Amino acid sequence: MNDSEDDVTRGAAALLVVPEWHGQRLSRDLDARAEEAKGLALAIGLDVVAVHTLRLRQTRAATLIGVGQIEAIKPDVVESAAQLVIVDAALTAIQQRNLETEFGTKVIDRTGLILEIFGERAATAEGRLQVELAHLDYQAGRLVRSWTHLERQRGGFGFLGGPGETQIEADRRMIRNRMARIRRQLDDARRTRQLQRSKRQRAPWPVIALVGYTNAGKSTFFNRLTGSDVMAEDMLFATLDPTMREIRLPGIDKAILSDTVGFVSDLPTELVAAFRATLEEVTTADLIVHVRDIAHPDSDAQYDDVRAILDSLGVNGPQETDGKHREGEDDPRTVPQIEIWNKIDTADADARARIEEMAARRGDVAVLSAVTGEGVEAARTLMASQLTARHRVERIFLTFDQGEAMAWLHARGEVLGDVAGDEGHVLTVRLDPADRARFERLWPQGNG
Ligand SMILES: Nc1nc2c(ncn2[C@@H]2O[C@H](COP(=O)(O)OP(=O)(O)OP(=O)(O)O)[C@@H](O)[C@H]2O)c(=O)[nH]1
Ligand SMILES: [Mg+2]
């Protein structure tokens, strides 16, 4: 095995292998997949010097890809002076090791790559713990020498140079202990966050969460709406930790807009939990805005990936077979959703006409360009109308000393009437059913 892997860092030359085999991710275009994988590599500063897309008739247990294909790639590894080979698939520990021997370089798979990015991007203490946990989980299954942020951080676990049994056992124990400690720390962090969130729920402002596939343009749209300057780049996973800002919408004085981590297909299972925790904000949002790169060749496949994650978060409500949004759904866990079909400026005239026609048939879609600003006003109006669409008119009695509840109702709903009696007010308020329930929790009616 090659011994130079510790030098593999940012700027390293990488050769990318994108295999495809029957029954796997057929919804995606192989070239688009190669582009995405390149984007992932770029996101941690690797320099992709060569790309090999492969069609496999069957996968090989020892190396995933075929012997002939390995032989075909080998000379290119040498010629391109690649220090690293990235395989855009999930490799077993054995496959990874065998390929490293064949190529004489480090080999990482898609999971390893995404873990690297998350490791580099996680900015909060909790985010870092989650990523480390995912990384340890991944490591535990493959106690071989490997290139990981963990090693870079802690100077290695001693996987170097084919460790003996005892060394591996010791490493395993160390990993288990560390994982247990992280889980405890994460539990603490989660409790703190829940506390903070329940405080925030008292705040009367509606929360809008932007979600979407990585690079769809969430941060660009966010910046346009908020006039702020969140990192928006042609880079996958530019945003990892959620960012929140106040915005104004037509008829809504104040709402909180939250930018979130981008989704990606085949998210490593080890990372799904970390990913979900990052997205917890989304589950308590008043409106989910799904930002899509509508001109991307894999736009539909990306849509399905995002919907699947939203399903797993439980925000899509009871599932219908056609996967369409439900109209007038009252399940309190269901968060209303709209779609932003972004990057319309990059579509050619024909595609644009088709896209606009499709959007016109739906009441929950806004077509726009976050870069040129075209369509953004209409999107703001759509967001505002969706926030108020489910509202019902309610009558609520408040005693004179319930000033805080009164202010909450004024901010959160639309007060249509206020009749003062001997003991208090009877307010006629247009309110979202979810807010009605929230109000009931905050100020239970009947005790005051
Ligand atoms: N042409 C065009 N480019 C856009 C548009 N919106 C965003 N982009 C570009 O797409 C790239 C990604 O934009 P971001 O806003 O960072 O995307 P994101 O969804 O926040 O990505 P992650 O944070 O990585 O998940 C950037 O290069 C943007 O300039 C658009 O409407 N038109
Ligand atoms: Mg972003």
> For the stretch 129-162, what's the b/e string if a residue is b when 16 or more beta carbons lie within 10 angstroms of its beta carbon?
bbbbbbbbbbbeebbbbbbbbbbeeeeebebeee
pLDDT interval class at 246 (50, 70, 90): confident
Task: List the residue whose alpha carbon is closest to atom 21 of ligand 1.
Answer: 215
Ligand minimally distant from the alpha carbon of residue 223: 1
Helix (H, G, I), strand (E, B) or coil at 88: coil
- The mean pLDDT of 188-216, rounded to a whole number, is 78
Residue 417 reports pLDDT greater than 70: yes
Query: How high is the pLDDT of residue 26?
Result: 58
Q: pLDDT tens digits for 165-201?
A: 566 677 778 888 999 999 999 888 878 777 776 665 5
Residue 408 contacts residue 442 (beta carbons within 8 Å): yes
Model pLDDT, residue 11: 82
d(CA 129, CA 185): 8
pLDDT at 5: 38
Name which residue sits closest to atom 16 of ligand 1, judged by CA.
232
Burial of 76 (0-12, 13-18, 19+ CB in 10 A): middle
User: Ligand 1 atom 6: the closest Cα is on which residue?
Assistant: 217
Q: What integer pLDDT is reported at residue 289 of this predicted model?
A: 96
- pLDDT band of residue 230 (cuts 50, 70, 90) is low
What is the mean predicted confidence (pLDDT) over 60-85? 95
CB-based neighbours (< 5 A) of ligand 2, an ion: 218-219, 238-239
Q: What is the pLDDT of residues 300-325, one digit of tens each?
A: 999 998 998 888 888 876 554 444 44
Q: Rounded to whole angstroms, how far apart are CA atoms 145 and 126?
A: 27
> What pLDDT band is residue 401 in, cutting at 50, 70 and 90?
very high
Q: How confident is the model at residue 120 (pLDDT cuts 50, 70, 90)?
A: confident
Decide if pLDDT at 135 tops 80: yes
Question: In a mutational test of the pocket of ligand 1, which residue from 241, 275, 371 has the highest number of ligand atoms less than 8 Å from its CB?
Answer: 371
Structure tokens at 42: 């770029």
CA atoms within 13 A on the CB side of 176: 6
Q: 106 labelled as ligand-binding? A: no
Could you report the predicted ipTM of this complex, rounded to two decimals? 0.99
Whether 107 and 85 have beta carbons less than 8 Å apart is answered as yes
47 is in an annotated binding site: no
pLDDT score of 319:
53
Q: What is the pLDDT of residues 23-71, one digit of tens each?
A: 665 567 788 889 889 988 988 889 999 999 998 888 899 999 999 999 9
Cα–Cα distance measured from residue 272 to residue 279, given in angstroms and rounded to the nearest whole number: 10
Site of tokens 């390929």: 99
The partner residues of 269 in beta bridges, in order of sequence, read none
Please give the distance, rounded to the nearest whole angstrom, from the Cα atom of residue 24 to the centre of ligand 2. Answer: 28
Residue 8, annotated as binding a ligand: no
Q: Residue 195: what pLDDT?
A: 74
Residue 44 is predicted with a pLDDT of 84
Report the nearest atom of ligand 1 relative to the CA of 344.
Answer: 31
DSSP one-letter code for 60: B
Q: Could you tell me which residues come within 8 angstroms of residue 261 by beta carbon, excluding any fewer than 6 positions away?
A: 214, 237, 239, 240, 241, 242, 275, 278, 279
Q: What is the pLDDT of residue 22?
A: 74
Return contacts of 123-127, CB within 8 angstroms, 24+ apart. Answer: 123/240, 123/241, 124/241, 125/189, 126/186, 126/189, 126/190, 126/193, 126/277, 127/240, 127/241, 127/274, 127/278
Which ligand ends up closest to the CA of 214? 1
Q: Are 289 and 338 in contact (CB under 8 A)?
A: yes
Domain boundaries, the chain: 5-121, 203-389, 392-442
Q: How far is the CA of 148 from the centre of ligand 1 (A)?
A: 28
- Considering the chain, what percentage of its residues have pLDDT values greater than 90? 38
Residues with CB under 6 A from ligand 1: 212, 214-220, 232-234, 236-239, 262, 342-343, 345-346, 369-371
Q: How far is the CA of 327 from the centre of ligand 1 (A)?
A: 30
Give 353's pLDDT tier (boundaries 50, 70, 90).
very high
pLDDT at 231: 61
Let me know if domain 203-389 sits in CATH 1.20.81.30.
Answer: no
Does the annotation place 12 within a ligand binding site? no
Whether residue 210 has pLDDT greater than 90? yes
Mean pLDDT over all residues of the chain?
81
Name the band, by pLDDT with cuts 50, 70 and 90, for residue 245.
confident
Considering the domain 5-121 in this protein, what is its CATH number?
3.40.50.11060
